[in-house]
Amino acid sequence: MTSPRHPGPDVTTVLGKTVLVLRAFTPEDRGVRLIELGRRTGLPKGTLHRLCGDLVATGLLERHDDRYRLGRLMFELGMRASVERDLLEVAMPYLQELRAAVDETVHLGVREGAEVVYVAKVVGHRQVTAPSRAGGRLGLHCTAVGKALLAHAPPEVVENVIADGLQRRAPRTLTAPGLLMAQLQQVRETGVAFEFEESTVGLVCVGAPVFGPDDDVVAAVSVAGPVTRFNPRLHATRVGSTAQRISATLIRQELSRS
Domain count, the chain: 2
Rounded to the nearest 5°, which phi and psi values hold at 220? -150, 150
Q: Please check whether residues 73 and 94 belong to one and the same domain.
A: no
Give the lowest-confidence range in 17-21, 67-71, 125-129, 185-189. Answer: 125-129
Q: Please check whether residues 149 and 239 belong to one and the same domain.
A: yes
- Residue-number span of the structural domain to which 186 is assigned: 82-257
Q: Please check whether residues 53 and 148 belong to one and the same domain.
A: no
Q: Please check whether residues 188 and 215 belong to one and the same domain.
A: yes
Domain boundary among 79, 106, 136: 79
Residue in 219, 201, 200, 199 with CA at minimum distance from that of residue 209: 219
- Confidence check: pLDDT of 3 > 50: no
Q: Please check whether residues 202 and 168 belong to one and the same domain.
A: yes
User: What is the pTM (predicted TM-score) of this model?
Assistant: 0.74
CATH number at residue 139: 3.30.450.40
3-class DSSP state for residue 7?
A: coil
Q: Please check whether residues 69 and 116 belong to one and the same domain.
A: no
Tell whether 212 is covered by a domain: yes
Rounded CA-CA distance 233/204 in Å is 10
62-119 tens-digit pLDDT: 999 899 999 988 877 776 655 567 788 899 999 999 999 999 999 999 998 888 888 8
Q: Please check whether residues 115 and 238 belong to one and the same domain.
A: yes
Domain boundary among 79, 103, 125: 79
Tell whether 9 is covered by a domain: no
CATH number at residue 31: 1.10.10.10
Tell whether 3 is covered by a domain: no
